[in-house]
Amino acid sequence: MKIAFFSTKPYDKDFFERYNTIHQFNFYEVALNEQSVRLAEGVDVVCVFVNDKLNAQVIDSLQKLGVQLIALRCAGFNNVDLVAAKNADMRVVRVPAYSPYAVAEHALALIMALNRKTHKAYNRVREGNFSLEKLTGFDLYHKTVGVVGTGKIGGVFARIMSGLGCKILAYDKFQDETLIKAGVSYVSFEELLVQSDIISLHCPLTADTRHLINAQALAQMKKGVMLINTSRGALIDTQAVVEALKNKTVGYLGIDVYEQEENIFFNDLSEEILQDDTLARLMTFPNVLITSHQGFLTEEALTQIAITTLQNISDFADKKLLINEVK
């Protein structure tokens, strides 16, 4: 099948070409939106990522261009208007689990770096400053870690933190019996907020979870809590968390996602003036660590993304059951 890839980076081209045997590829660096949708003319499939916009207008244009399938090379699908896709008789597939270890381990990396101030120590030593002042951290051992969302990524994260000797509290509408047997305690969302020293978000972005972490939720947290988000940016009300950082309710913030990351993350803006005042404000806090949606970026994850996406497309072409279809 002919496939148009949008929001393409060099690693996308590398891994998809490595595992392709039958499909024809067109790679575009631009994101898919109302202006770029014309690039999908003459293809059967569009392959998209987290910041591509597939609203009703784009999907209508794709249908008129003859596109038959939307293939997400990610787990999340909040950027796709599923009702519009259904009305256009256009099917949507995704990669539900490429490597839960990649994202879970990145969450741990954010925790460790924030706690032990590794990023600050690195910069100091590079400048010849070997002082230990203001680099004091804390033992993770016996700390209470709240895990919001215990799907595949959240489950792996819970086990990692349990292995470090942490007490694990979890909140999810669907409880995982294997995690309960491993010592994880499921509690209400409010109880998790109140008791946790560290809170890590691992749930999808839906209408119900948008701004799950808002001013009310932040007010219930322990003073000096560490908040980690490697899931979707809009789970956090960024303006509210800025205020919580200012009044020291949030003692540490580690984010790999940001609710206004479109047109910022994945791009080199080092020679430009950052136009997002909220992100610029976040970057001024010494207790905030931001990475630009790199949690998925491991060899294993990129391999699985390419293999699963190509299999999804081949199954569609062969009229087989689409086991990773989003409905």
Under 8 Å CB-to-CB from 108, ≥6 apart: which residues? 157, 160, 161
Residue 311's nearest CA partner among 320, 299, 300 is 320
Determine the 3-state secondary structure of 122 from DSSP: helix
- Token output for 84: 């519009």
Give me the catalytic one of 106, 232, 259, 262: 232
Residue 310's nearest CA partner among 9, 69, 99, 76 is 69
Residue 293 appears among annotated catalytic residues: yes
58 neighbors 33 (Cβ within 8 angstroms):
yes
Give the integer Cα–Cα distance in Å for 258 and 289.
Answer: 12
Give the Cβ contact number of residue 165 at 10 Å. 11
Residue 213's nearest CA partner among 195, 187, 232, 197 is 232
Residue 261 appears among annotated catalytic residues: yes
Element (H, E) at 143: none
Give the integer Cα–Cα distance in Å for 38 and 64.
Answer: 10
- Token output for 249: 């309710």
Give me the catalytic one of 261, 262, 281, 325: 261
Residue 293's nearest CA partner among 284, 301, 281, 285 is 301
Alpha helix (H) residue ranges in the chain:
10-19, 56-65, 82-87, 100-116, 118-126, 152-163, 177-181, 189-195, 215-220, 238-246, 277-282, 299-317
**Residues known to be catalytic:** 232, 261, 293
